[in-house]
Amino acid sequence: MIINLSKYRIGTFLLLGLSIAAAKLHADGPLAIQGAKIIPIVGEPIAVGTILIRDGKIEAVGKDVVIPGEAKVIDATGKVVMPGFVDAHNAGAMTSANERNELVPFLSVVDSIDPVSPFFDECRRNGITSSAVVPGNSTLIGGQAAIVKTAGQYVNDMLLKREAGLKISLRPASGNRMSQLAKLRKELDKAKKAIENEAKGEKPDSPAEPKKEGDEPAKPTEKPEGGADEPKDDNATGQPEGSGDAASQAAGLEALKKAIKGEQPVYIYCETGMDVTAAIQLISDYGFKPIFVLGPSCYKAADLLAKRNETVILDPSLVFWETNPRTREDKKIIVPQLYRAAKVPFLFQTEGFGARTSLGSSFFWFQAATAVKYGMPEKEALEALTIAPAKRIGIEKLVGSIEVGKDADLLILTGEPLNISTWVDQTIIDGKVVYERSKDEKIKRLLSPVAE
């Protein structure tokens, strides 16, 4: 009895300790943002309203929200509040966008995310609060994406979704398009066959089935040292490139099976219009759920994409010129206008790390403003920065709009979102202020350049 009692006591202490820890996690208490114009994205804008945040979630939004006495209040009079931007496709968070090996379905970007990298500083500075981290386009099967919030000390604090999509590129990383597609089909066939065998009750012919941890899917992070960096000499043994060992081969197969079963989408990069045709054929042959990531000239296949009725992700380069090689006729290609005409809904990407085609293309708001310049209604453009990408990557229940019960991922802007003079004044993620312009030393240095 006594022993039991003491056990019970220990239990209570433990519980108490846990609840203290939980309370500490939300020690900030409720937070209210007052006096701002609210653009909730879902629902009509509120000219002057209040947002109440508790435990990282939006508790109330409206004109006459009562602010509890204990709430910390941010006075945002004259400012504009909108949901944080959602980036549906970006490799910037990774230390390098692609593995040298082009066939690495077993890899996960989670292993490559550095939470303190300047990329995330820039995200918070520019209003991006959620980001799908997807391997780059220079690959065949480039690994698995993850969705993160853009603030946190460790990757696990930031993760919204692991295994958020498999990256496939139809632009040959090496060789030509024929071999790219042949290699891709070979891998997809293997996975398809494995699924069929399983359905027949046969044992999968993969050498080592990965461990299952409840619902948690196989973690491709268990790859042994050097696995991905093995030289590409394993073709001789008939094994797929880059899967030099049994464990990563199995994990890769598992990832592909999940994609074919529709348990995780496939980010499929098409560089040109002909790649779109190939992608559509692959989708019909293997049945995966695609997320189209499009190169600049894919507009030529806009009619095919229109039939699919899916939101596509556009290349960062939204406006460019083409010269017809035969007639020498110059033509200005306005990508958002062409997709709107074809009734293909789209999302934007930004350019980073120097590969810009225009001054503003590293900023989401500027990309949206460019689309508005060429005829997109502002409301739709703002949706394409928030709720539309959230839906596309399957996190719309958590983020993408200012609605009661959603994560408090908010931007306090100094003015209207697409105005050239508007800055992100504060960024809030999960109810916590993670960026304040008044404390941003980098911006201060940039705006008053002096010799140091």
Sites of contact with other proteins (CB under 8 A): 92, 118-119, 122, 125-126, 321, 323, 330, 332, 351-354, 356, 358-360, 362-363, 366, 369-370, 372-374, 378, 418-421, 423, 442, 445-451
Per-residue burial over 248-271, b = 16 or more CB atoms within 10 Å of its CB, e = otherwise:
bbbbbbbbbbbbbeeebbbbbbbb
| Beta strands 141-149; 159-169: pairing state | antiparallel
Q: Find the shortest distance in angstroms from Cβ 234 to other proteins.
A: 36
Neighbours of 383 (CB within 10 A): 21
CA distance 135 to 91: 5
Q: Closest CB to other proteins among 288 and 364?
A: 364
Q: What CA–CA distances, in Å, run from 104 to 109, 140, 147, 242, 290?
A: 11, 8, 19, 6, 18
Q: Find the shortest distance in angstroms from Cβ 439 to other proteins.
A: 15
CA distance 6 to 148: 42
Q: Closest CB to other proteins among 250 and 413?
A: 413
Residues sharing a CB contact under 8 Å with residue 392, sequence separation 6 or more, in sequence order: 88, 291, 311, 313, 347
Q: Find the shortest distance in angstroms from Cβ 169 to other proteins.
A: 22
Phi then psi for residue 53, to 5 deg, are: -120, 130
Burial (CB count within 10 angstroms: exposed 0-12, middle 13-18, buried 19+), residue 212? exposed
Q: Find the shortest distance in angstroms from Cβ 187 to other proteins.
A: 33
Q: Closest CB to other proteins among 176 and 448?
A: 448
Q: Closest CB to other proteins among 212 and 321?
A: 321
Beta-bridge partner residues of 293: 269, 313
Q: Closest CB to other proteins among 239 and 358?
A: 358
Q: Find the shortest distance in angstroms from Cβ 418 to other proteins.
A: 6
Q: Closest CB to other proteins among 268 and 319?
A: 319
Residues sharing a CB contact under 8 Å with residue 31, sequence separation 6 or more, in sequence order: 52, 53, 54, 71, 72, 73, 74, 408, 428, 431
248: left (phi over 0), alpha (psi -120 to 50) or beta: alpha
Q: Closest CB to other proteins among 390 and 411?
A: 411
The DSSP string of 49-94 is EEEEEETTEEEEEETTPPPPTT-EEEE-TT-EEEEPEEEEEE-TTB
Q: Closest CB to other proteins among 201 and 449?
A: 449
Token couple for 208: 């080592």
Q: Find the shortest distance in angstroms from Cβ 440 to other proteins.
A: 11
Q: Is 422 helix (H, G, I), strand (E, B) or coil?
A: coil
**Length of the chain (residues):** 452
Q: Find the shortest distance in angstroms from Cβ 68 to other proteins.
A: 38
Q: Find the shortest distance in angstroms from Cβ 373 to other proteins.
A: 5
How many CA atoms lie within 13 Å of 439's alpha carbon, on the beta-carbon side?
8
Q: Find the shortest distance in angstroms from Cβ 391 to other proteins.
A: 24
Q: Closest CB to other proteins among 67 and 372?
A: 372
Q: Closest CB to other proteins among 124 and 406?
A: 124
